Structures are given as structure tokens and as C-alpha cells.
Structure 1
Amino acid sequence: MQVVDPHIHLWDLKTHHYPWLANPGVSFVGDARDLRHDYLLADLLADAQPIEVLKVVHVEANHDPADPVEETRWLQRIADDPASRRMPNGVVAWVDLSLPNAQEILEGHAAFANTRGVRQILNVHENGLYDYIGRHLMRDTTWRANFALLRRHQMSFDLQLYPSQMDEAAALARDHADTQFIVNHTGMFVDRDSVAGYRVWRDGMRQLAGCANVAVKISGLAMFDHRWTVESLRPYVLETIDTFGVERAMFASNFPVDRQFGSYADMWNAYASIVAGASDAEQSALFVRNAERLYRI
């Protein structure tokens, strides 16, 4: 099986600082203590066997917020090494758009050839177990003003949030129709204990899909389903593809985070099993072409 993986993370604990790995803990996404080791491109490609990984997109790995451009600099050095096969082919960098110097940081990231976009995690939840940042960034005046700078640098925005935030995000996407938004982790359907929770996810995804500039990565499902099976993933995968259409959905691994809950090959083979009835062109779009097009790699 050939894939383009548009959501992977790498880290080198010997040379870089990742606060969450310096003092790892246990959360709903697993035991970060199990991730407290270097994870480099060679490790990813070893994990990937026997899947043939054609290209990858690196999404910021919660690197030292005091020097976010250093992560991009490091990744570009890796990509420029002939032995890396130009991987990571695309880089989604980190910036705090609520800071006064956000423009300077964006310019720093934009100086590197493989930068394609940015991600700033937006997840806010009333339950402290799930809350990432404790503030509603999309309501921050400075954040919203700096968001407009993405278009200047032709950067996309990786949109990581919860269903309860999707109406605000859809409004943001409509306000910035010339910026590509890419929903992370299948919309992070976290409130799974009620019909109401499902409806908030379903309706929120439909709102986002109503914006032509929003696409989605089908990934991260194992974070909420540690003992997943093909059948437990199937409804979320199919609903997401049905909502966004084959041309605005793509599969991704979220490795090595989801490595805690299954092998790389098992995850991709599960996706393949779920869409086995799709045409060759549809499968090519979901596994390869959409990631190449949306991340321009």
C-alpha cells in the first residue's frame, strides 16, 4: 500500500526541548511517558513497514514555545539531507497568534522552503481532563488580527478543536475564505457518552464542510478509542468522508502518538478495509492525492 501521511511528529530530545516530554504525564491521549524517547525519521519509516510512505507532512510537536522557528529549521535540515528522500516534504509550524510578535515568527517559518502552514491548538473544554489551553483564542482580538497574516505568507491553518467550537471556526473560515483550513483528527469527537454529543460533532463537521476552504484529516481516532477495531472506527470514517466529500478528506497516522494504540500498518490497513468499496480514483484521493494537493507537496 502506498500512502502520503499528512500528520506525523518527530522529536530529538538530545538537541531540542519539548516541555510536554520533559515532564510527561497521563491524559486521555495515553501515557506520554511511553513517548519520552527520540522519534526520528528513521524510526517512523521503520514503524511504517510494510506500508510504502511516499511523502509526509510534519505537524508541530509542541516544541519549545520560546523558539518555535528552531523546530522548523531542524526539520528543514532533515529534509535537505539527500538520505531523507526530502522528508518531511511539508512542515506545519507553530506560532502563538495572540502574541504581538506573531508576524516576526511567521516570517521566520516562511523563510524555509518546506513550510506549508501553521497549527495553534485551540481545544477548550469544560472538563479539565480534555482542556488544552484554557482560553478561547478565536475570540481574542490580537489573535484574529494576526490570523490574517497567514494569507500573506500563503500558509494553511491546521484546525485542532472540539465539536463545541466548530461554529466559531466555521465563521472564521468564512471570514478568511482565501486561507486553507485543515481539520485535525476527525474533529476530535470527545463527548461520546450521549446522543447530544454525537449530534454536536456531526452538525459541527457539517458546518465546517459547508466552507469550501475547509478540508479534514481522518486521524487521531485512537486517542478516543484505545481498543479500536475496524468496526469501531468505521462510522466516524464514513460519516466524515460523506460530510466533506472524497476530495476534501485524507487519511493520516498521527504517529507516534497513536503508536500507543496500534501499529502503523494496522491503522492504514483499517482505513483501507473501511473504504475497500471505493473506486481506485477515490482511494487514490484519500490515501495520496488530497494530501499532496492540500499541502502542496
Structure 2
Amino acid sequence: MQVVDPHIHLWDLKTHHYPWLANPGISFVGDARDLQHDYLLSDLLKDAQPVEVLKVVHVEANHDPSDPVEETRWLQQVADEPSSRRMPNGIVAGVDLSAPNAAQVLEGHAAFANTRGVRQILNVHENRLYDYIGRHLLRDATWRANFARLRQHGMSFDMQLYPSQMEEAAALAREHADTQFIVNHTGMFVDRDSVAGYRAWREGMRKLAGCANVAVKISGLAMFDHRWTVESLRPYVLETIDTFGVERAMFASNFPVDRQFGSYADLWNAYAAIVGGASDAEKAALFVRNAGRVYRI
């Protein structure tokens, strides 16, 4: 099986600082203590066997917020090594768009050849277990003003949020129709214990899909389903593909975070089983072509 994986993380704890790994805890996404070790490109490619990984996109790994550009600098050095095959082929960098130095940070990231976009986690939830940041960045005037700077750098925006935030996010996407948005982790359907929760996810995803500049990564499902099976993933995968269409959806691993809940090969084989009845062209789009096009790699 050949894949372009548009959502992976790497870290080198010997040389870089990641606050969440320096002080790991247990949350709904698992036990971060299990991730408190170096995870390098060689580790990813070893985990991937026998899946043939053609290209990868690295998404910011909550690196030291005082120096987010250092993560991009390191990743570019990794990509420039002759043995790396240019991996990570695309870099989605970290930035706080509400910070006074956001413009300078964006310029710093843009100086590196493999930078394709940025991510800033947006997740806000009334339940503290699921709340990431405790503030609504989408409503912050400074954040929105700096968001407009992405266009001048030709950067995309990886959007990690919950269904309750999707209506506001869709409005942002319409306001910035020339910026590519990529929904992370299948829209993070967190409120799974009610019909209202499912409806909020389904309707929110439809609002986002109504914006032609929004794509989606089918990933991160194991964060809410630690004992996942092909059948438990199936409805979310198929609903997402049906909502966004085959040309705006892509599979991704979220490794090594989802490594806590299954192997790389098992995850990609599950995706393959779920879309087993799709045409060869549709499979090529979901596994390879869309990620390459959206991230320009």
C-alpha cells in the first residue's frame, strides 16, 4: 500500500523543548508518558512498515511556544539530509496569531522551503477534560487580523476544533476564500453520548464542506475510540467522505499519538477496508493525490 501521510509529528527531546512532554499527563487522548521519548523520521518509517510512505506532512508538535520557528528550522534540516527523501515534505508550523510577534513568527516560518502552512489549536469545550485553550480565538480581533497575513505568505491553515465551533469557522473560511483550510482529525466529534452531539458534528461538518476552500483529514479517530475496530471507525469515515467528497478528503495517521491505540499498518489497512468498494481513482485520491495537492508536495 502506498500513502502520502499528511499528519505526523516528530520530536527530539535531547535538543528541543516540548512543554507537554516535559511534564506529561493523562488526558482523553491517552497517557502522554508513553510518548516521552524521541520520535524521529527513522522511527516513523520503521513503524510504517510494510506501508510504503511516499511523502509526509509534519504538523506542529506543541514545541516551545517561546521559539516556534526553531521547530521549523530543525524539520527543514531533517528534510535537507540526503537520506530523508525530503521528508517532511511539507511543514505545518506553529504560531500564536494572538501574540504581538505573530507577524515576525510567520515571516520566520516562511523563510523555510518546506513550510506550507500553520496550525494553532482552537479547541474550546465547556468540559475541562476536553478544553485545550480556554478562550475563543476565533472571536479575538488580534488573532483575526493576523490570520489575514497568511495570504501574503501563501500559507494554508490547519484547523483543529470541535463541532460547536464549526459555524464560526465556516464564516472565517468564507471571509478568507483564497486561503486553504484543512480540518484536522475528522472534526473531533467529542460529544458522542447524545443524538444532539452527533447532529452537531454532522451539521458542522456540512457547513465547513460548503466552503470550497476547506478540506478534511480523516485522522485522530482513535483519540476518542481507544479500542477502535474497522466497524467503529466506518460510520465517521464514510460520513466525512460523503460530506466533503472524495476530492477534498484525505487519510492521515496522527502518528505517533495514535500509536498508543494500534499499529500504523493496522490503521491504514482499516481505512483501506472501509473504502474497499471505491474505484482505483477514488482510492488514489484519498490515500495519495489529495494530500499532495492540498499541501503542494
Say yes or no: TM over 0.5: yes
Match in the other structure for 1:109: 109
- The alpha-carbon deviation at position 39 of structure 1 amounts to 0.1
Please report how far the alpha carbon of residue 95 of structure 1 lies from its aligned counterpart in structure 2 after TM superposition. Answer: 0.5
Aligned residue for 2:80? 80
SS where residue 56 of structure 1 aligns? strand
Equivalent pairs: percent with the same residue? Answer: 88
Corresponding residue number in structure 2 for 1:4: 4
Tell me what 1:132 maps to.
132
**TM, length-normalised to structure 1:** 1.00
Matches within 5 A, 1:230-269: 230-269=230-269
Count of aligned positions? 297
Task: Give 1:241's aligned amino acid.
Answer: I
Deviation at 1:101, TM superposition (A): 1.2
Give the Å deviation of 1:148. 0.3
Q: CA deviation at 1:214?
A: 0.2
Residue 168 of structure 2 aligns with which residue? 168
Task: Map 1:141-156; keep pairs closer than 5 Å.
Answer: 141-156=141-156
1:219 is matched with 219
- Taking the aligned partners of 2:263 and 2:99, their CA distance within structure 1 comes to 38
Q: Does 1:53 align with 2:53?
A: yes
Give runs of aligned pairs for residues 1-40 of structure 1, distance below 5 A.
1-40=1-40
CA deviation string 1:66-104 (max 9, x = no partner): 000000000000000010010000000000000121110
Partner of 1:276: 276
**TM-superposition CA deviations, 1:248-292 (whole Å, max 9, x none):** 000000000000000000000000000000000000000000000
CA-to-partner distance for each residue in 1:179-224, whole Å, 9 max, x for gaps?
0000000000000000000000000000000000000000000000
* Separation of aligned partners in 1, 2:262 and 2:100: 41
CA distance in 2, matches of 1:234, 1:193: 17
Aligned counterparts of 1:194 and 1:122: Cα–Cα separation in 2: 23
Offset of 1:162 from its aligned partner? 0.2
1:155-188 C-alpha deviation (Å, 9 max, x unpaired): 0000000000000000000000000000000000
What is the distance in 2 between the residues matched to 1:92 and 1:179? 14
- What SS class does the counterpart of residue 83 from structure 2 fall into? helix
Aligned to 2:204: 204
- Which residue identity does 2:243 align to in structure 1? T
Cα distance in structure 2, aligned partners of 1:78 and 1:18? 18
CA distance in 2, matches of 1:35, 1:99: 29
Q: Aligned partners of 1:99, 1:37: CA distance in 2, in Å?
A: 30
For the residue of structure 2 that corresponds to 1:113, the secondary structure is coil
Aligned residue identity for 1:175: E
- Normalization by structure 2: what TM-score? 1.00
Q: Alignment partner of 2:288: what SS?
A: helix
Q: CA RMSD in A?
A: 0.2
In structure 1, runs of 5+ residues without a counterpart are none
Moved over 4 A (4+): none
1:96 corresponds to which residue?
96
In the alignment, residue 209 of structure 2 is paired with which amino acid?
A
Any stretches of 5+ residues in structure 2 without a counterpart? none
